[in-house]
Chains A and B, each alone.
Chain A
Amino acid sequence: QMTQSPSTLSASVGDRVTITCRASQVFGGSVAWYQKKPGKAPKLLIYGASTLDSGVPSRFSGSGSGTEFALTITSLQPDDFATYFCQLYTGYEFPFGGGTEVEI
């Protein structure tokens, strides 16, 4: 299980924001982060806990290990207001966190 916090985050353009996910136990696998906008498919931002997917702006970064992981967005841009999900992948289970809505 992945516990994601906060569930809602109010921020302004230019802010630095951090979203965290905690796994219920130590696992063999890694974490990915996705951005989701209404009516659109999720977009992969980070995989392997800290590797930026191709084409993703460098203001996005991922960190963490063990059971604690984080997504940080430095200098929030208007296009970044969306919902973000973490995902644990072990090869056998792929639980998503509950999501964090980043709102203005």
Chain B
Amino acid sequence: EVQLLQSGGGLVQPGGSLRLSCAASGFTFTDYTLSWVRHAPGKGLEWVASISAYEGHRKYADSVKGRFTISRDNSKSTLYLQMDSLRAEDTGVYYCARDQRYCGGECLAESFQHWGQGTLVTVSA
């Protein structure tokens, strides 16, 4: 069974930093592209970032470019999102997600089939 178990998140002041983690199991980690998606309160879903199997492709939403860094540790089957210079508008539930498409190499993200349980990030003074 595919599982994505998230940790990290919490309350942080504007300008602060947080790191989210997403530990994967139940599939070959390096066969899939992974992503982060967030859901702000009262708003829709927003794609944040994606990373290919060996980090050859990293893509970011304009709203987080230069402030967030997506990475993965294939030896630990874990995905990360380092969030710096946080703003109030970054508040929301963050989800890690695994691509639907089997890749086995360096692929760009497509649709998101498996999701973590979500973790709340609150940016407030």
Residues in chain A within 8 A of chain B (CB atoms) = 30, 32, 34, 36, 41-44, 47-48, 53, 85, 87, 89, 91-99
Contacts of A94 in B (CB 8 A): 35, 47, 50, 109
**Pairs A–B under 8 Å by Cβ, sample size 18:** A32-B111, A32-B112, A34-B45, A36-B39, A36-B45, A41-B115, A41-B116, A42-B45, A42-B112, A42-B115, A47-B100, A85-B45, A87-B111, A87-B112, A91-B110, A94-B35, A99-B44, A99-B45
- SS of B interface (majority): strand
Contact of B117 with A by CB under 8 A:
yes
Q: Which residues of B lie under 8 Å from residue A87 when comparing CB positions? A: 45, 47, 111-112
On chain B, the number of residues with a Cβ less than 8 Å from chain A's Cβ atoms is 21
Chain A residues lying within 8 Å of B112, measured Cβ to Cβ, are: 32, 34, 42, 44, 87
CB of B100 within 8 A of CB of A98, answer no
Taking A47-B100, A85-B44 as known contacts, 15 extra A-B pairs with beta carbons closer than 8 A to each other, sorted by chain A number, are A30-B110, A32-B111, A41-B118, A42-B37, A42-B45, A42-B112, A42-B115, A47-B110, A89-B109, A91-B109, A94-B47, A94-B50, A94-B109, A96-B47, A98-B44
Pair A42/B95 contact, Cβ less than 8 Å = yes
Whether B75 is near chain A, meaning CB under 8 Å from some CB there, is: no
- B89 to chain A: which residues have CB within 8 Å? none
Closest to B49 in A: A94
- A91 and B108 within 8 A (CB): yes
Give every chain A residue within 8 A of B100 (Cβ-Cβ).
Answer: 32, 44, 47, 53
CB distance from B81 to the nearest CB of A (A): 15
Most buried by A among B111, B117, B118: B111
Q: Which residues of B contact A30 (CB under 8 A)?
A: 110-111
On chain A, the residues within 8 Å of B118 by CB distance are 41
Residue on B nearest A36 in the bound complex, by CB: B45
